[in-house]
Amino acid sequence: MQSLVQNLAVASLCFAFSNALAAPPVAPFYESVIQMSPTGVLGQVIKKEQIQTSLKGAQAWKIAYISSDVGERKTIVTALVIAPVGPAPKEGRPILAWAHGTTGSAQNCGPSQVIDPTRALNQYFLMDGNSWTDFGIPKGQEFINEGYVVVATDYQGLGGGGKHQYAVAQTNGRDVINSARAASSMTEIGAGKKTVVYGWSQGGGAVIAAASLPDYQAQQGTAADNLQYLGFVALAPEDLAALLPKAPLDEASAIKVMKGFTEANVSNVFLFTHFMMGLWGTQAAYPELKLTDLLTEEGAKAADQLSSNKCVHVMGDSFNYAYGDKYKSLVNPQASNSSAWIKAFVDGSVKPVKPVAPVAIYWGTKDTVVPPVMHEIYQKQMCAMGANVARVQLPGEQTHFTTPGVSAPMYLEWVKDRIAGKPLENGCPKG
């Protein structure tokens, strides 16, 4: 016989899946932004609010700006902008655009919404982490000390309304580009045109996606045209397109590919949570797809319920609590419409286009979240096009989560050299 606690848990779960809950409450700044229409040019700042920052010699703002997604639909995105105090040089301050790693899909998962969001990177899994989410700016104080402006996008759907297109790198990369335009357009911070982009995990994918969007970068009539991209730093970047077939597949072949792809992403509840958010985000980007193509009815409801309302670590806890080791039962035994889903995964990922500036990838041998083979294949593809892409294996046995801290001394120097215009040896493998 089930215990009272078990019965209450089941009843609570059934109630949750049978009742549409409102999105989590958000602060007034974001509440007002969500009500706004995405009208304006790319990178246009449509709302800003100066905030306190714990960084020394700095001033900071929360902003909302215009971006667009992989389907070129206009969106509103929120972000942080941090700049040194005092007069800027005549040529303007260089821009560092930060692309954060996975935080979740709900409106309240944007890193700018956390208390003291401009502080140094705070990671949930690390021993010194003190929050339920990852937030903060890696080496922001060092960049401020160098006289740079730092802009940190939340990505669309994480504070500015709409459904977050999680892991759709083509959308996330556009948000990064437009965040730099937004920063460059803010006359009070003295930003110039020189731009370097850096990011981790989901943000690493956004970085390399942005690097291969030359036409999007070159659009005129934006809030700040003709930014000068000097380099792209990708920490453990994901690239789904590197692992999936590019050519259209017949449905039978696509089902086999989807089966392997699914199995690789459901081995534990942590990866499964990311997988469910990825399906939810891809469906948001490509509305013709249906979650029930790949998930059971209950699985589709769970993916929508949790992705809409919870950030990633809490979402994982909810799957673990509600299903234990039965979470795989939410996946359809036989997928349908697999060829369309694979096409969407590839279309939303990094384009096979030569990056507009050098790319530096930093990675650890113990990364079990983003398989290193992803960026190994990416490097080979881009180097074959004549790009300058370096992959730097970090010393020791670094995990996905130690990558940002261990790589920092290396990419700090790399960034300073790019801004200073120093020559750079080609990082592609020789021979």
Hunting for tokens 């759907």 — which residue is that?
A: 157
Asked if the structure places residue 9 within a domain, the reply is: no
Coil, helix or strand at residue 139: coil
Indicate whether 206 belongs to any domain.
yes
Other CB atoms closer than 10 Å to residue 27's CB: what's the count? 14
Biggest CA–CA distance in the chain, Å, is 76
Which structural domain range is residue 403 located in? 28-241+354-420
Bridge partners, 253 (sequence order): none
Residue 342 · residue 257 · CB < 8 Å = yes
Please report the pLDDT score of residue 26 as a whole number: 67
Q: Report d(CA 6, CA 329) in Å as an integer.
A: 19
39 lies in the same domain as 122:
yes
Q: Which amino acid is at 341?
A: W
Helix (H) / strand (E) containing 404: helix 403-420
Q: Are residues 217 and 272 in the same domain?
A: no
Domain assignment present for residue 5? The answer is no
- Alpha carbons 272 and 92: distance in angstroms, whole number: 45
Domain identity same for 161 and 41: yes
Place of tokens 């029930």: 292
Q: Is residue 209 domain-shared with residue 290, that is, in the same domain?
A: no
Domain-embedded: residue 146: yes
In a domain, 89, yes or no: yes
Q: Which residues of 104-140 are buried (b: 16+ CB within 10 A; e: fewer)?
A: bbbbbbbbbbbeebbbbbbbbeeeeeeeebbbbbbbb
CATH number at residue 406: 3.40.50.1820
Count CA atoms closer than 13 A to 272's CA, side-chain side.
Answer: 25
- Total structural domains in the chain? 2
What pLDDT shows up at residue 23? 46
In a shared domain, residues 275 and 312: yes
Give the span between the Cα atoms of 367 and 386, in whole angstroms: 28
pTM of the model: 0.93
Does residue 431 lie within any of the structural domains? no
| One domain, residues 330 and 367 | no
Q: How confident is the prediction along the chain (431 residues), in pLDDT tens digits per residue?
A: 334 334 333 333 343 343 333 444 568 999 999 999 999 999 999 999 999 999 999 999 999 999 999 999 999 999 999 999 999 999 999 999 999 999 999 999 999 999 999 999 999 999 999 888 999 999 999 999 999 999 999 999 999 999 999 999 999 999 999 999 999 999 999 999 999 999 999 999 999 999 999 999 999 999 999 999 999 999 999 999 998 888 778 999 999 999 999 999 999 999 999 999 999 999 999 999 999 999 999 999 999 999 999 999 999 999 999 999 999 999 999 899 999 999 999 999 999 999 999 999 999 999 999 999 999 999 999 999 999 999 999 999 999 999 999 999 999 999 999 999 999 999 999 87
